[in-house]
Amino acid sequence: MANKFILPALPYAYNALEPYIDEATLKIHHDKHHQTYCDKFNAALEAAELNSEDIFEIMGNVSNLPAVRNHGGGFFNHTFYWESMAGSCDGPEKLPEIAKAVTDTFGSFEKFKDEFSKSAASVFGSGWTWLGVESSGELVIYNTPNQDNAFMDICDTDAKPILVIDVWEHAYYIKYQNRRPEYIEQFFKVINWNKVQERLLEIRKN
């Protein structure tokens, strides 16, 4: 069976997020960790004799497929994470839809940042912190362990994600060692708010 999924290239150069996310981390994180998830995801699909090429259909049926859940989640989550960052982009205050959504839910961008940062810092072990859109249209911050995401049938939220931070140690350890809060603080300097707003508008449209 041919590989159904291939590793997408980073949407920017390895050094584009310097000095906040270092080049060495991006090379290892993307070329090694993400590639391994991609390879093992394809192998898990083959072993499970799954023929679907729809990542969302696959994520929605992982409850009895731990290898697909772990490696498929790792493949999807990392792709979403790379696209959540950029070397330069508009700040949220210049993007009216996301600015209003954040303010309506959290009161201000600073309150959102504080809540998101605390949530990310609180993740025990490995996982992800997401900003998502609930069915009501309200924004919500939530964590998922390991490589889980809200598209999976095992997740206790269905809030559609528009932003994510990876808080596995391999995402930051070369530069920040055990200083996860410092990495989280610097992450806010490379968020691709244009992409976040694009995701928000796409969810609202559908």
pTM score, two decimals? 0.96
Largest CA distance in the chain: 51
CA dist 4 → 38, 45, 58, 167 (Å): 10, 9, 12, 27
Model pLDDT for residues 78-122, shown as the tens digit of each residue: 999 999 999 988 888 889 999 999 999 999 999 999 999 999 999
User: CB 155: neighbour CB atoms within 10 A?
Assistant: 18
The predicted structure's pLDDT at residue 3: 64
CA dist 199 → 43, 111, 165 (Å): 30, 21, 15
* Nearest-angstrom CA–CA distance, 23 and 2: 32
User: What's the 3-state SS for 62-79?
Assistant: CCCCHHHHHHHHHHHHHH
Residue 1 scores a pLDDT above 60? no
Give SS3 for 1: coil
Sign of CA pseudo-dihedral 172, 173, 176, 182: positive
Contacts of 112 (CB under 8 A, 6+ apart): 102, 105, 106, 131, 139, 141
Q: Which two tokens stand for residue 58?
A: 């696959």
pLDDT band at 176 (very low <50, low <70, confident <90, very high): very high
User: CB 133: neighbour CB atoms within 10 A?
Assistant: 20
* Architecture of the domain delimited by 22-206: 3-Layer(bab) Sandwich (3.55)
Residue 2 scores a pLDDT above 60? no
* Nearest-angstrom CA–CA distance, 121 and 126: 11
Q: What is the mean pLDDT of residues 25-40?
A: 98
